Structure 1
Amino acid sequence: MEHSLGTPPAAGPPAPPLDYAQFAALVSRSFVPLRVQPEQPDAFRGDIRTASSDEVHLSVVTADAHEIRRTPELVARKEARFFKLGLQLSGSGLLIQDGREAVVRPGDLAIYDTNTPYSLMFEERFTTAVLMVPHRLIELPTEAVRGMTATTLSGDEGLAHMVSGFLGGLAGQLDQLDGPVGARLARNAVDLVTTMYAQQLDVARDADKPHRPMLRRAQAYIDEHLGSPELNPTTIAAAHFISTRHLHAVFHEEGLTVSSWIRARRLDRCRRELVDPLSAHRPVAQIAARWGFRDAAHFSRAFRAEFGEAPTGVRARAIAA
């Protein structure tokens, strides 16, 4: 965890606030490269506390008035692609991305994408919690989520209330994300955010895409039967009393294939177990078989292709953390 102000060690005085240069450098280290322009550089003071687990980062930012810009030049550097979900805790700001503008007030949630330019402007001292998640962990079509950037969700009602409560609580106990249950907390946060935006997208799109309820039912069935060796397009279609051709068409409408969806879901479940301390006693091959991979060599190749490293490497890194 990185500290500037924020949660200090149990003993000793809290760390001093950061000046403009220190804060600007820490912003780019904690998130992605960004341009920071304070209203009063000489008097500026800020603070960032960050914790991370399983590629998910949660930061709490407290700072004086300033503007942050993710410029086209910075986007062109091609760093890893992230969605950032901000929960405004105090003060207010303005988020601009993809031709949309959103005023964020305390309790509001707003998502933005590091893969396209954006600006954040704060005209007063503020505090915000920022959850940063790789694109591939948000199990929704990337372009669909980008259609929700720079729009706010009020944390006073519905799923947004649950998400804001969970993130707000986690922001107050960042050490939990760095601790032994950090991977589970990180995945819980991502699952809640994904569910919240899935609901928003369903409301917006179901009216003109009647195939989507069937798609959701098929995907839910896949999740319930991931460990079954009998899981394939034929059995999925039969369970829903449709032809395999129709099943493939339903997935194709969302730019998906049935087999790639099954494989991705199985790999994701395997990765979750590999980084879970409570599963450290299970051999890698046993975890793979549990989620439908009967051939260890095939599983290892598929896992490396999906995540860029071997299953044993992911487990070793999680244990070391």
Structure 2
Amino acid sequence: MPAATVRPASQELTSSVAVSFDHWKHLVAESFVPLAARTADVDGFRGQMRSRVLDRMSVVEVTATSHEVHRTPALIAQAGERYFKLNLQLEGTGLLIQDNREALLRPGDLAIYDTNRPYTLAFEEEARMMVVMFPCDALSLPSDYVGQLAAVRMAGSAGLSGIVGQFIRQLSENLEVLSGPSGSRLATNALDLVSTMLHAEMDIVPDRMKPQALLAVSVREYIEANLSDPMLSPASIAAAHFISTRHLHNVFHESGTTVASWIRSQRLEGARRELRDPLHAGKSVGAVAAGWGFLDAAHFSRTFRDAFGVSPRDWRRGA
């Protein structure tokens, strides 16, 4: 299965000011996923966006007067890839509604939501926020696990959510200088921080997490720790968790993927990041591939090209 990529967008910093509310609806759909936008003050509406794509992650700063957006079942039916979005409220307040939960977000607060399920975001007055959007498989956590935290307010005043919020805020203030290998590295760091924050949030209320989701997290963590092992297989993973391979396959089936495809995508993403990392510039492509469990250089090259549309060497050169 080819590794997922973000919606087509410019790698350069883009800035757009809405000239009308119809124009705003177009900007919202182009920057994120298709949404239905409404406002009670069409003539007085003002809105602008600054955005950048960092590897597989879109970072968008949104400033707008009173309005709301809806992700409806009809719009979801048109969708291709599944994304998660993380909101950091910077100014004003916002109301996020998903899965019969409501999160009132004040400055500094964070909340995550799933573009594959209906949601509403409403702003009664002018507000500013950072929106980080990424494919659901960009996190090592199972989608169902993340879904249990949809529309749950994570206070930005303290703890890990405060650290993550400050990191994302710094990204928003430096969008113009984030590019190339350093931008990709920061994107990876940001998603690692988000994963850690979500782990911590679920630890606060572990009873909300189903046993199957706990197992899925444990399995993924085990796989991530052993990606360099070329002998990693469904049988070895199942044995390490004292479950049958059939049970293991069912765990991944519930997340809409397979064990083999998830291992492959994680290895490819790891190799892809390392090839662009200045710290590993002295490593040969073959050495990078071997470090992620690919012992056959030709097979790695074909698989990499199939996933990303470019050879490993061309990717390293920035082609």
Structure 2 unaligned blocks of 5 or more: 1-12
Moved more, 245-254 or 165-174: 245-254
Aligned to 2:146: 145
Question: 1: CA distance between counterparts of 2:181 and 2:66?
Answer: 36
**Offset of 1:155 from its aligned partner?**
0.9
**Offset of 1:312 from its aligned partner?**
3.2
Shift in alpha-carbon separation, 1:203–1:278, aligned structure 2, 3 A: same
Question: 2: CA distance between counterparts of 1:25 and 1:120?
Answer: 17
Aligned to 2:8: none
User: What are the Cα deviations for residues 200-222 of structure 1, in whole angstroms up to 9, with x where unaligned?
Assistant: 23444478767988876775555
Aligned to 2:315: 315
Q: Is this contact kept in 1: 2:252–2:259, CA < 8 A? A: no
Q: Is this contact kept in 2: 1:211–1:250, CA < 8 A? A: no
Match of 1:2 among 14, 37, 41: 14
Say if 2:191 is the partner of 1:194. no
Query: Which one-letter code corresponds to 1:72 in the other structure?
Result: P
**Offset of 1:19 from its aligned partner?**
3.3
Shift in alpha-carbon separation, 1:250–1:164, aligned structure 2, 3 A: farther
Q: Is this contact kept in 2: 1:91–1:126, CA < 8 A? A: yes
Aligned to 1:113: 114
User: What are the Cα deviations for residues 214-235 of structure 1, in whole angstroms up to 9, with x where unaligned?
Assistant: 8767755554443344656787
Question: 1: CA distance between counterparts of 2:158 and 2:220?
Answer: 27
User: What are the Cα deviations for residues 289-313 of structure 1, in whole angstroms up to 9, with x where unaligned?
Assistant: 12121012332454456x3535438
Query: Which one-letter code corresponds to 2:309 in the other structure?
Result: E
**Offset of 1:261 from its aligned partner?**
5.4
Say if 2:290 is the partner of 1:289. yes
Shift in alpha-carbon separation, 1:271–1:314, aligned structure 2, 3 A: farther
Q: Is this contact kept in 2: 1:206–1:212, CA < 8 A? A: no
Q: Matched residue of 1:43: which SS?
A: coil
Q: Matched residue of 2:16: which SS?
A: coil
User: What are the Cα deviations for residues 234-275 of structure 1, in whole angstroms up to 9, with x where unaligned?
Assistant: 8778xxxx7674485885674377766544432231121134
Shift in alpha-carbon separation, 1:247–1:272, aligned structure 2, 3 A: farther
Aligned to 1:298: 299
- List aligned pairs for 1:109-258, cutoff 5 A: 109-205=110-206, 220=221, 222-229=223-230, 231=232, 245-246=242-243, 251=248, 254-255=251-252
C-alpha root-mean-square deviation of aligned residues, in Å?
A: 3.2
Question: 2: CA distance between counterparts of 1:258 and 1:73?
Answer: 31
TM (norm. structure 1) is 0.80
Q: Matched residue of 2:192: which SS?
A: helix
Aligned to 1:9: none
Q: Which runs of 4+ in 1 moved over 6 A?
A: 206-218, 233-237
**Offset of 1:4 from its aligned partner?**
2.8
Question: 1: CA distance between counterparts of 2:56 and 2:138?
Answer: 9
Shift in alpha-carbon separation, 1:73–1:208, aligned structure 2, 3 A: closer
Q: Is this contact kept in 1: 2:142–2:216, CA < 8 A? A: no
Moved more, 21-30 or 42-51: 21-30
Aligned to 1:55: 56
Question: 2: CA distance between counterparts of 1:294 and 1:250?
Answer: 28
**Offset of 1:178 from its aligned partner?**
2.9
Q: Matched residue of 1:188: which SS?
A: helix
Q: Matched residue of 2:151: which SS?
A: coil
Structure 1 unaligned blocks of 5 or more: 6-16
Q: Paired residues, what number?
A: 303
Query: Which one-letter code corresponds to 1:56 in the other structure?
Result: M
Question: 1: CA distance between counterparts of 2:313 and 2:275?
Answer: 10
Q: Is this contact kept in 2: 1:101–1:151, CA < 8 A? A: yes
Question: 2: CA distance between counterparts of 1:121 and 1:270?
Answer: 40
**Offset of 1:88 from its aligned partner?**
0.4
Question: 2: CA distance between counterparts of 1:180 and 1:221?
Answer: 27
Question: 2: CA distance between counterparts of 1:61 and 1:202?
Answer: 31
- Name which one, 1 or 2, has greater alpha-carbon Rg: 1
Question: 1: CA distance between counterparts of 2:285 and 2:259?
Answer: 25
Q: Matched residue of 1:269: which SS?
A: helix
